[in-house]
Amino acid sequence: MTKSPSKHVEKLEIEFNNLFLSTQMIIKEALKKLGYGKEVFELLKEPIRMITVRIPIRMDSGGIRVFTGYRSQHNDAVGPTKGGVRFHPEVNEEEVKALSIWMSLKCGITDLPYGGGKGGIVCDPRNMSLAELERLSRGYVRAISQVVGPTKDIPAPDVYTNSQIMAWMMDEYSRLREFDSPGFITGKPIVLGGSQGRETATARGVTICIEQALKKKGMSLKGAKIIVQGFGNAGSFLSKFMHEAGAKVIGISDAYGALYDPEGLDINYLLDRRDSFGTVTNLFDNVITNQQLLEKECDILVPAAISNQITLENVHRIQASIIVEAANGPTTLEATKILDEKGVLLVPDILASAGGVTVSYFEWVQNNQGYYWSEEEVEEKLRKVMVNSFENIYQTAQTHKVDMRLSAYMIGIKKSAEASQFRGWI
Ligand code: NAD
């Protein structure tokens, strides 16, 4: 399971400076740098399809509640659209639209044969039973079934949805179509066609980005000092991989505070505490704040928690020479520019966290061919994709004299633009 839907629901992390408008702004700049005309931006600034559905569900109490759901498909010129479904009380149309554009960018960067999609249901999984969540998951699939499918639009887990929810959704779709359709959705349990390596894919992808960034800086991973903000799925696996590779993880944090030791933390012990108690920093006395941690001296800083962590307010005090964004939107656009001027190598979120969608693609390929790969094979294939994507973005940044974020947007949007032109849409 990726996450338990009944876990404490934290505030949605993506609220930074109006996500939709800032995404459109960088896409406009990226298309301009690539020499595309206005009509290409006109097509790509909004999803080609956005549906809103109303889902009536019988609650355990016997009454009916009607939920609102969304599915956004940004652009399907390259191939079917792909992206997660989130369950959260703050899900809204603008956010789902922006995140579907992000998925196009991620698929473009990693050269996957997809456009971007995203979905969500406005609900509070904290206050729902498993039976209600199952009925809601199945109801959502029935409501959007005309526009999704293995060759149309392929959902996946996202905030507060997990492999069990993917399993219910796949079963509902298969019943509707009257044949087994594992390729309809990714992030499934292994026994239903899930892929090896899916759970650790994001952290593996971040690890590969760190290795590549260190090479560019002429530094070695052995002994490198790393700070990781966030000790959830992405941050905790990453800390483990870094520790195993001989790096020194000197700081970690969660929602309750941060632990810091310049000599290196005992990551295996902290993982064990986290697994036993759910959180980790509140078990210790000598905690510092998340903000203090970000400003400590280190070689690599990995924000892997929430958005808006490196801003104009603290950017001048950041001491890392490499920042790898595992979280969505941890650095504001203004802070990105300052870091770039300071010579900090910043690996942007749409590249650094693309390991998840890449292994989702591998899951879909394995479902389509009916032949399954070992974890080693998956990881080797992921490494190739991440190394190529990193190199491509790094070289484009050098050639066009732009930061890695703009370069990533340029590469990410180019495939959708090119494919739309070849199809004669623009
Ligand atoms: P998670 O819910 O498993 O963990 C989040 C962690 O951040 C927890 O340790 C939590 O305590 C901590 N946190 C919450 N609020 C905080 C705060 N104010 N300050 C510091 N820490 C805080 O989430 P995750 O799956 O690890 O995702 C983390 C980030 O990475 C998110 O931005 C997510 O969108 C992004 N991401 C994750 C994946 C994935 O596959 N897990 C893929 C792409 C992007």
Mean pLDDT score across all residues of the chain:
95
Rounded to 5 degrees, φ, ψ at 146 are -70, -25
Which residue from 239, 309, 310, 226 is spatially nearest to 274, judged by alpha carbons? 239
Tokens encoding 346: 């910043």
Judged against a pLDDT cut of 80, whether residue 108 lies above it is answered with yes
- 47-180 fold: Rossmann fold (3.40.50)
Report the atom number in ligand 1 closest to the C-alpha of 306. 32
**Which residue's C-alpha comes closest to atom 36 of ligand 1?**
327
Judged against a pLDDT cut of 90, whether residue 3 lies above it is answered with no
More confident residue, 22 or 168: 168
Which residue from 52, 27, 383 is spatially nearest to 205, judged by alpha carbons? 383
What is the Å distance from ligand 1's center to 303 Cα? 9
Which residue from 91, 325, 94 is spatially nearest to 228, judged by alpha carbons? 325
Cβ(294) to ligand 1 under 6 A? no
Cβ(231) to ligand 1 under 6 A? yes
Give 353-374 pLDDT, tens digit per residue: 999 999 999 999 999 999 999 9
Which helix (H) or strand (E) segment holds residue 411: the answer is: helix 404-422
Please name the residue that has the structure tokens 């969505």.
Answer: 328
Judged against a pLDDT cut of 50, whether residue 7 lies above it is answered with no
What is the Å distance from ligand 1's center to 239 Cα? 13
What is the Å distance from ligand 1's center to 237 Cα? 12
Judged against a pLDDT cut of 80, whether residue 58 lies above it is answered with yes
What pLDDT is recorded for position 11? 46
- Please state, in angstroms and rounded to a whole number, the distance separating the CA atoms of residues 170 and 90: 25
Region 396-407: what's the mean pLDDT? 96
Q: How confident is the model at residue 18 (pLDDT cuts 50, 70, 90)?
A: confident
What pLDDT is recorded for position 4? 42
Q: How confident is the model at residue 22 (pLDDT cuts 50, 70, 90)?
A: confident
Helical segments of 7-129, H only? 19-34, 38-44, 93-109
Give 134-154 pLDDT, tens digit per residue: 999 999 999 999 999 999 999
Residue among 118, 188, 225, 248 flagged as catalytic? 118
b/e string for 43-71 if b means 16 or more Cβ within 10 A? bbbbbbbbbebebebeeeeeeeeebebbb
**118 is an active site residue:** yes
Q: Beta strand pairing status for 81-88 and 115-122? A: parallel
Rounded to 5 degrees, φ, ψ at 8 are -50, 125
Cβ(75) to ligand 1 under 6 A? no
What is the Å distance from ligand 1's center to 290 Cα? 13
What pLDDT is recorded for position 19? 84
More confident residue, 7 or 102: 102
Read off the pTM.
Answer: 0.93
Report the atom number in ligand 1 closest to the C-alpha of 307. 32
Q: How confident is the model at residue 286 (pLDDT cuts 50, 70, 90)?
A: confident
What ranges do the domains of the chain cover?
A: 47-180, 201-343
Domain 201-343 classified CATH 3.40.50.720?
Answer: yes
Q: How confident is the model at residue 16 (pLDDT cuts 50, 70, 90)?
A: very low
Domain 47-180 and domain 201-343 have a common topology: yes
Q: How confident is the model at residue 71 (pLDDT cuts 50, 70, 90)?
A: very high
Cβ(360) to ligand 1 under 6 A? no
What is the Å distance from ligand 1's center to 146 Cα? 33
Report the atom number in ligand 1 closest to the C-alpha of 202. 40
Give 208-238 pLDDT, tens digit per residue: 999 999 999 999 999 999 999 999 999 999 9
